[in-house]
Amino acid sequence: MRESYDPAAVERAAQQYWDERRVFAAREDSARPKYYCLSMFPYPSGRLHMGHVRNYTIGDVLARYMRMQGYNVLQPMGWDAFGLPAENAAIANSMPPAQWTRQNIAYMRGQMKALGLAIDWEREFATCDAAYYHWNQWLFLRMLERGIAYRKTGVVNWDPVDQTVLANEQVIDGRGWRTGAPVEKREIPMYYLNITRYADELLRSLDELGGWPERVRVMQANWIGRSEGCEISFPYAPDTRAAVGVAGALKVFTTRADTLFGVTFMAVAAEHPIALAAARGDPRLAAFVEECRRGSVMEADVATQEKKGMPTGFHVLHPFTGEPLPVWVANYVLMGYGEGAVMGVPAHDERDFEFAQRNALPVVTVVGSPRGAYQEALAPWIGAYAEHGELVNSGQFSGLGFQAAVDGIAAALEVKGLGRKRVQYRLRDWGISRQRYWGCPIPLIHCAGCGQVPVPDKDLPVVLPEDLVPDGSGNPLAKTPSFYECACPKCGGPARRETDTMDTFVDSSWYFLRFACPDDKTRMVDERVDYWLPADQYIGGIEHAILHLLYSRFWTKVMRDFGSLKFGEPFTKLLTQGMVLNHVYSHQPPGGRKRYFNPADVYTRRAQDGAQIAEVATADGPLRVEHEGLGKMSKSEGNGVDPEGLVARFGADTSRLFMMFAAPPEQTLEWSDEGVQGASRFIRRLWHAVHGHVSAGEASRPVAGTLTREQRDLRRVAHQALAKATDDIGRRHHFNTAIAAVMELLNAVGQFADASPQGRAVRQEALEIAVLVLAPITPHVCHALWQGLGGPGPLIDVPWPKVDSSALAQDFHEIVVQVNGKLRGHVSVPANSDEATVREAALADERVRKFMDGKPPRRVIVVPGKLVNVVV
């Protein structure tokens, strides 16, 4: 082996070795246990960023480790290739999204290959390949046949100037990103997938996901949001009946039916039929309804906006007392959630309380909370008001506790035909229609005579034309007759093809299945899926904890119910990688569009008053930019760091080692390349240690029982490091501490000067352990070092080493002694000492006696092998 470490040469040689032998091409093999190691495929945004490097290195370490453990490993890669950024790039560069996307894929594939990932590239595909999205369309039609896909109207952000539907991301402070025009809500027909049909199963089967982080399961459970409550109907009073034109009732859902006698008003969404009916005769109300129609549809905006309301002048009747209750329009009630109406109980609900205070509505206490019920009209809200308690002022139900009250009220409502118990979910059906070009076409045809007609299976896929260039106004597909003009498959008459495309979450909801059979031209999935799936380990960012993972679980269950799959959960274990954060800098000219700047281009200086000023250099001189804090590395915020420079300067192994050493995978990481020198230095030290060792000739194996104390010490350090690294990599996925253990081992090897044959044998074993443990993390240099050490066979085929437990044995234990919980001394006791011996040794210690100050021990706590605490 060469004396000095040349990362470029080492990495070229190792990658060539793997490529020539196709060592990562995975084949089904019933003789070996399989391990499907899946990382979330990237959006081809142009360049990899450090979040990608982190994600794919974690996956690669696990894949290579499990291969060493004897598993038949599949690690695939593909591209989540449809999406909005390609259209934005197209607008900016007048280039078709397809061209931009495919260029990016080619570039990023090269970057990934440079990292030396153990990927089976023969399975690669992009979701914009017709051979892939063909099956999106095929399954969508099967869902349509079974009523899982259906059509209804939905609310979108509408830019009135560009006449375009905007993504939430394109709405900035309530205005369109390009035009600056105030955004409006607009209802349009859309296609939905009936995920709520699976709400109960999606919730219950979270319990089976023992390999998922607790926090993800909690987030999903809260998102699905099962609540048990009552549906209650408030019959229209005569004024409402007259305005709406028919007799009826205002239906609400509540988890607090026990507070029914405390209802003092009703609140409906601005889009509710009662609100619209009332607005027809009231210009002020009409203006308020119009105001509510403005603004974005995002829940975060709705939840934080000022709570406003206006009375309709109409009334509904209390189901028990018959008392008329005023109906208000409120901007915080959402039409798309529940019934679009809520009952207002100001005495026992904080939001209702604030609304009542603001609008001078009465407050009626109906629950005697043990910690104090609402009394004074102007008293501030306290949490106790919302607590369960005994009912008061509630007619026949007074005196009942929470559950008895809910049961009694529900039963009585049912008798009257005005309500019943019901389970409600927060989860809403999944709207998949996008009024965009760069996505999978929805395979439907609209015929004047036949209505909505599915594209026949034989005509699939409906291929997306790849040569269009969007201009930001509307969907280019809707302006392309060669795409939308077609014949009705039923009657043969002229018809119009659907121009909406599918949400890109559809593409990513099943790609992991297709990696098992990417070449099957006749079926969506085949029997190879039964071999590889479910994926044993899924790795991806915590930001996908809800949407992507929930949609993938739903899609899997649908395919299972169609008979295509034999399992209902796609990912057995989940590792949610913490985000790699970087600073976010932006500039927004008055009335103009906000632009983001990469932190690498930003420099800061001090103003005269000492304040930090951030600027970027432009052709027109320095431009002041605003620091928005830290955020995940992303294309849209322009704060990604391209790993290319790092790899070019230090090599893939150093980059991988540095990234894995920086923090455990699940932890958020603020990007900094300080410390990368340390990773580079460590690899060079290892190289020199191996080189120095092997240039002195061959070494034998150590012979147990004949070793000196120093030789036994080094063996113990080596096997301790191996035991720790095995646990850290295999179980905990804490690669940073595994690396630290190898660093300690290398430090010990450096201290070990024994050049005797036995000494050299022990050093050989220690270096082999160091190289094998690092093999999953820094595979290229370890490939070369293994050759240098004369290890048997190529590293890629070497199994994970086994801990020699006899090497770990220790004769003495260092016991920590505390007095009153404070560290006061150490004693060394033989490893097999009993509790009494340890206690005696501790009490005999001089320093311990000094701090006991002559007082007798009140209590002595002995933790075997570790610690003694003397309480005086």
Window 128 to 157, contacts with RNA (CB under 7 A): 154, 156-157
Residue 357 in contact with RNA, rule: CB under 7 A:
no
Pairing of strands 430-431, 249-254: unpaired
As a whole number of angstroms, the distance between CA 657 and CA 777 comes to 6
**Which residue, 419 or 643, is less far from RNA as judged by CB?**
643
Residue 408 in contact with RNA, rule: CB under 7 A:
no
**Which residue, 268 or 659, is less far from RNA as judged by CB?**
659
Residue 843 in contact with RNA, rule: CB under 7 A:
no
As a whole number of angstroms, the distance between CA 14 and CA 74 comes to 20
Among 740, 754, 787, 849, binds RNA (CB under 7 A): 740
φ, ψ for residue 91 (rounded to 5)?
A: -65, -45
- Minimum separation from the CB atom of position 288 to RNA (A): 21
Residue 479 is encoded by which pair of tokens? 């302006």
**Which residue, 138 or 223, is less far from RNA as judged by CB?**
223
φ, ψ for residue 329 (rounded to 5)?
A: -100, 130
- Minimum separation from the CB atom of position 12 to RNA (A): 23
**Which residue, 223 or 531, is less far from RNA as judged by CB?**
223
Among 227, 452, 677, 756, binds RNA (CB under 7 A): 677
Counting other chains too, the contacts that 12-18 makes at CB distance below 8 Å and 24 or more residues apart are 13/780, 13/783, 13/784, 14/116, 14/779, 14/780, 14/783, 14/784, 15/113, 15/116, 15/780, 17/783, 17/794, 17/796, 18/116, 18/118, 18/796
Residue 867 in contact with RNA, rule: CB under 7 A:
yes
Residue 65 in contact with RNA, rule: CB under 7 A:
no
Residue 750 in contact with RNA, rule: CB under 7 A:
yes
Residue 382 in contact with RNA, rule: CB under 7 A:
no
Residue 344's nearest CA partner among 265, 274, 272, 406 is 265
As a whole number of angstroms, the distance between CA 757 and CA 773 comes to 24
Place of tokens 């798309």: 336
As a whole number of angstroms, the distance between CA 463 and CA 326 comes to 54
- Minimum separation from the CB atom of position 99 to RNA (A): 17
**Which residue, 155 or 450, is less far from RNA as judged by CB?**
155
Residue 83 in contact with RNA, rule: CB under 7 A:
yes
**Which residue, 260 or 785, is less far from RNA as judged by CB?**
785
**What is the Rg, in whole angstroms, of the alpha carbon atoms belonging to the chain?**
34
Among 91, 167, 249, 404, binds RNA (CB under 7 A): 167
- Minimum separation from the CB atom of position 76 to RNA (A): 17
Residue 675 in contact with RNA, rule: CB under 7 A:
yes
* Stretch of residues binding RNA (CB under 7 A), selected from 63-71, 261-269, 590-598, 660-668: 660-668
Among 259, 359, 504, 564, binds RNA (CB under 7 A): 504
Residue 795's nearest CA partner among 582, 700, 653, 651 is 653
Please report which helix (H) or strand (E) contains residue 329, including its range: strand 324-330
As a whole number of angstroms, the distance between CA 189 and CA 326 comes to 33
Would you give the binding string for RNA spanning residues 532-551, x where CB under 7 A is met? ----------xxxxxxx---
**Which residue, 42 or 570, is less far from RNA as judged by CB?**
42
* Stretch of residues binding RNA (CB under 7 A), selected from 487-495, 658-666, 707-715, 763-771: 658-666
**Which residue, 648 or 863, is less far from RNA as judged by CB?**
863
- Minimum separation from the CB atom of position 523 to RNA (A): 26
Window 693 to 732, contacts with RNA (CB under 7 A): 724, 727-728, 732
Among 190, 237, 310, 444, binds RNA (CB under 7 A): 190
CA 316 to chain centre: 44
Residue 632 in contact with RNA, rule: CB under 7 A:
yes
**Which residue, 448 or 696, is less far from RNA as judged by CB?**
696
Among 85, 344, 443, 476, binds RNA (CB under 7 A): 85
Residue 523 in contact with RNA, rule: CB under 7 A:
no
As a whole number of angstroms, the distance between CA 539 and CA 543 comes to 12
Residue 866 in contact with RNA, rule: CB under 7 A:
yes
Among 57, 433, 509, 764, binds RNA (CB under 7 A): 433
Among 10, 270, 739, 769, binds RNA (CB under 7 A): 739
Among 298, 400, 517, 600, binds RNA (CB under 7 A): 298
* Stretch of residues binding RNA (CB under 7 A), selected from 239-247, 404-412, 463-471, 816-824: 816-824
Cis peptide before 461 (omega within 30 of 0): yes
Strands (E), 414-457: 419-425, 430-431, 433-434, 444-447, 451-454
Residue 855 in contact with RNA, rule: CB under 7 A:
no
Pairing of strands 34-39, 72-74: parallel
As a whole number of angstroms, the distance between CA 494 and CA 274 comes to 41
Window 17 to 56, contacts with RNA (CB under 7 A): 43
Three-class SS string for 757-820? Answer: HHHHHHHHHHHHHHHHHHCCCCHHHHHHHHHHCCCCCCHHHCCCCCCCHHHHCCCEEEEEEEEC
Please report which helix (H) or strand (E) contains residue 462, including its range: none
As a whole number of angstroms, the distance between CA 46 and CA 57 comes to 19
**Which residue, 146 or 850, is less far from RNA as judged by CB?**
850
Among 820, 828, 834, 864, binds RNA (CB under 7 A): 820
Residue 395 is encoded by which pair of tokens? 């007619």
Window 201 to 230, contacts with RNA (CB under 7 A): 214-215, 218-219, 222-223
- Minimum separation from the CB atom of position 414 to RNA (A): 28
CA 797 to chain centre: 34
CB 437 within 8 A of CB 475: yes
Residue 92 in contact with RNA, rule: CB under 7 A:
no
* Stretch of residues binding RNA (CB under 7 A), selected from 204-212, 552-560, 631-639, 784-792: 631-639
Query: Burial, 64: exposed, middle or buried (Cβ in 10 Å; 0-12, 13-18, 19+)?
Result: buried
Three-class SS string for 255-305? Answer: CCHHHHHHCCEEEECCCCHHHHHHHHCCHHHHHHHHHHHECCCCHHHHHHC
CB 871 within 8 A of CB 860: yes
Residue 530 is encoded by which pair of tokens? 């039964």
- Minimum separation from the CB atom of position 739 to RNA (A): 7
Residue 502 in contact with RNA, rule: CB under 7 A:
no
* Stretch of residues binding RNA (CB under 7 A), selected from 480-488, 529-537, 645-653, 681-689: 681-689
Residue 62 in contact with RNA, rule: CB under 7 A:
no
Residue 307 in contact with RNA, rule: CB under 7 A:
no
Among 292, 533, 581, 699, binds RNA (CB under 7 A): 581
Residue 257 in contact with RNA, rule: CB under 7 A:
no
- Minimum separation from the CB atom of position 719 to RNA (A): 14
Residue 736 in contact with RNA, rule: CB under 7 A:
yes
* Stretch of residues binding RNA (CB under 7 A), selected from 252-260, 400-408, 625-633, 802-810: 625-633
As a whole number of angstroms, the distance between CA 370 and CA 278 comes to 41
- Per-position DSSP letters for 44-58, written without gaps between them: --SS--HHHHHHHHH
**Which residue, 241 or 307, is less far from RNA as judged by CB?**
307
**Which residue, 334 or 796, is less far from RNA as judged by CB?**
334
- Per-position DSSP letters for 636-677, written without gaps between them: TTT----THHHHHHH-HHHHHHHHHHHS-TTS-EE---TTHH
Residue 535's nearest CA partner among 50, 130, 62 is 62
Task: Give the total of residues touching RNA (CB under 7 A).
Answer: 103
Among 667, 806, 810, 837, binds RNA (CB under 7 A): 667
Residue 821 in contact with RNA, rule: CB under 7 A:
yes
Window 636 to 655, contacts with RNA (CB under 7 A): 636
